[in-house]
Structure formats: structure tokens, C-alpha cells
Amino acid sequence: MAGAIGRKGAGAKINHFESFKMEALSPLKGGAGIAILGRFKPIKKLGEGRFGKVYLVEDLKTGEVYALKESKDPLFARQLLDEAQNVLLLHHPNLVRLHHYFLSKDRKRIYLLYEYCDGGDLKAFVEKLGRPLKFGEALDVLYQVASGLAYLHDHGYVHLDVKPENVLLKREGEKEVWKLGDFGLLKTRGFSGILDVKGTVGYIAPEVFKGEIHRSSDVFSLGCLLYYMLEGHHPFKAEDPRKELALNRRGIIRFPKGLEPAFRPVFAKMVKINPFLRYRTAGELLRDLEKFRAG
């Protein structure tokens, strides 16, 4: 379970988790705060999700910073372990990279060490901008997220939670790279178990409410993501949450403002109610997106 992390200090590696003190928090020398796993100094809390809390941490050995997802609730340890084991070997520039995970010996606590995306999420980005994105801007984000999603689809996975909060920005010099993250609902293609719908209303493909999932379910969510970028809200927005849910179940989406007329056939195919009439995979969608980027 050991793995290399960081870029500072060539060859720096994390040892097997058994060598760490598995107390969640242990004092640093001199009383200068706390260290998670005796190695990672929390800088600030980044958020809290269904499976646990996320902190910005500094590796005390290398000086690198990461996003550390922590769950001490035994009820969620299994889900996080599944996430870690699925994502650890997935490497793509438009997917948030999982560097390592740590599991306590009693298997009740787990920590996932992800790359830190300093630009925040897409929702915060749009809100800070104070306006919906222009079509060209939205197309660039869509292309990058679809690229990461196509990689997942090619490797037999369905993400099931594509939404603005799970699209993160990382600045690499002057380049802005958008990455798809939060793999807590990740399922393998052909998943046949009982599906407990836990996606976000506004971005869920209609068939998912019936316990049916396809790679094209993620493509529908991408359509909802594009709608959000061009309108500033998801396509099923309503004052009553129950109405939002009902509208999302029906899955009827109108064309968003700012959508270029030439792109309408692509958008319409992304959000078909029938999952078999959509783009089957994000890879199929990418081929059409390439035409617009080239143009």
C-alpha cells in the first residue's frame, strides 16, 4: 500500500500504513498544532461530505500540500475503502489524483490523500465570477471534464456524481486545468446491485432514479453541468425542492441561454431522456466536442 507522493525531495515515499501511529490526531513537538497520522499538518478545513471531512494538509517531511479526506465513522469506512481501491490506479490529467490511502488496523478509520486543487470548485468559480460562463469558456471546461470522464468510462467505471462541486480547478503556471473529483459513488460498468440514489438533484439522469445506470447516465449529468455553466443554475431549478425532484425525474431539459445554435444537436443528444439515444460514453461525446474546439 506504499506509494510515492509529492515532487519535492526525489524518491520521497510514504511507508506502509502499519508504521504510522494511527491515532487521528497526535501533538507536534513544541505544541505547534496537530499532525494527522503523525505526518500531515492541517492547514484548514476544506469541506465536509457524505463520507467525512476534507482538510488541506502539509506533509511535514516534503513540504507538499494535499487534500486529506478523513472518515472515523465505521459506517462510512467501507465506502471510502472502496473509493480508494477503485481510484488509486486511475491516472489522468483531468481526474483528481489519489496518491495514497491509510487504513487503521481495526479497519474503522480511513484517510485518503488526494492532490490539492488550489482553484476551488466550479460552483464557487462561477459564483465568484458573478455571471454565467460564455459558451467558449464553458466548452473548455466541458471538454476537460469529459476527457477525464472518458478515461473512467474506458476503464469500466461510471462516476454517478458529476456536478459543479465535484469539478475542481488546479492552476499549473498560467494553465488552468479542470479535474473531475469525488469518486464516492463510483460504480463499475454493469453494476447490478441495489442502487441507493445519492447523486445530487439537478444532475441525476432519469433512469438512475429507477436503479438503472449506464455510462450515458454520466453524459446526461455533463449536459446538466453545461446548462449550469451557461445559466448559473441546474436545469430543474424550482422554489420547491419536491418540484425540483419531480422535474429531475422527468428529465426534460430546454436549451440554455448562451448555447450556440450549432451546438444544439450535441446538447440535445447529451440530455435525451432515453439513455440509449444519448452518446453512449464521454469518449463518443469528445469526438463531437473536438469539432467545435477546432472551429
CB 33 within 8 A of CB 22: no
Angle between helices 215-231 and 135-154 (to 10 degrees): 160
Q: Give the Cα separation of 97 and 7 in Å (integer).
A: 14
The DSSP 8-state label assigned to residue 185 in this structure reads T
Catalytic residue status for 59: no
C-alpha cell at 172: 499549473
Instruction: Specify the amino acid at residue 193.
Output: G
In the block, which residue shows the cell 508504521? Answer: 19
User: Of these residues, 121, 161, 182, 218, which one is catalytic?
Assistant: 161
C-alpha 73 chain-centroid distance:
21
Is 27 in a helix, a strand, or coil? strand
Q: Give the Cα separation of 145 and 93 in Å (integer).
A: 10
C-alpha cell at 53: 471531512
DSSP per residue, 32-76: --EEBTTTEEEEEEEEE-SS-EEEEEEETTT--EEEEEEE--HHH
In the block, which residue shows the cell 465506502? Answer: 79
**Cβ-Cβ contacts under 8 Å for 64 (sequence gap 6 or more):** 5, 6, 7, 8, 58
Q: What b/e readout covers 56-83, taking b as 16+ CB neighbours within 10 angstroms?
A: bbbbeebebbbbbbbbeeeebbebbbeb
The residues that are catalytic are: 161
